[in-house]
């Protein structure tokens, strides 16, 4: 599967487009990250979601350290062709590097942020060498 059938406006945002990752079964939003054309191409070629790490300035296979990869199930593009939605199977049950299923695990209760649920894994054990 290639990029030929996709029209995306990578140039609009400096070569990066925001990507919303959503659980394909529950529709829970798991995370927000960014893709460049290379990350999108690798995602389509492999079926495993790749992103562009802005902090490390490099291609990043989600789960390359933790093993908690995202398997692409569906890909959607918004009406402006500048945002991507990927519906994924989250292997290992956690998308967030903090160990929670979703990066959006903290809810604002009017006074502060309250964690929702429990972590799926201990990040100190998973990311020992990072």
Phi, psi of 39 (to 5 degrees): -60, -40
pLDDT reported for residue 109 = 95
CATH of 10-109, one of 3.40.50.300, 3.40.1380.10, 3.90.1150.10, 3.10.20.810: 3.10.20.810
The residue written with tokens 């309250």 in the block is 114
**Residue 123 belongs to what H/E stretch?**
helix 123-126
Encode the chain (130 residues) as per-residue pLDDT tens digits. 556 677 888 887 789 999 999 999 999 999 999 999 999 999 999 999 999 999 999 999 999 989 999 999 999 999 999 999 999 999 999 999 999 999 999 999 999 999 999 999 988 888 876 6
pLDDT reported for residue 10 = 86
Domain borders along the chain are: 10-109
The residue written with tokens 């062709």 in the block is 81
pTM for this structure?
A: 0.89
> Half-sphere exposure of residue 94, counting CA atoms within 13 Å on the CB side?
17
pLDDT reported for residue 108 = 96
Q: What CA–CA distance (Å, rounded) separates 129 from 108?
A: 32
DSSP state of 55: T
Map residue 75 onto helix, strand or coil. strand
Asked if residue 28 lies in contact with residue 93, where contact means CB atoms within 8 angstroms, the answer is no
pLDDT reported for residue 70 = 98
């Amino acid at each position: 599967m290639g990029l030929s059938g996709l029209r995306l406006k990578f140039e609009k945002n400096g070569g990066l487009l925001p990507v919303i990752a959503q659980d394909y079964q529950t529709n829970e939003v798991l995370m927000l990250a960014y893709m460049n054309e290379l990350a999108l191409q690798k995602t389509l070629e492999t079926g495993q979601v790749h992103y562009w790490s802005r902090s490390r300035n490099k291609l990043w296979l989600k789960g390359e350290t933790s093993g908690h990869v995202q398997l692409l199930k569906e890909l959607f593009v918004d009406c402006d062709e500048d945002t991507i939605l990927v519906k994924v199977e989250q292997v290992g049950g956690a998308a967030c590097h903090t160990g929670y299923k979703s990066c959006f695990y903290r809810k604002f209760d009017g006074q502060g942020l309250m964690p929702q649920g429990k972590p799926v894994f201990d990040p100190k054990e998973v990311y020992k060498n990072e």
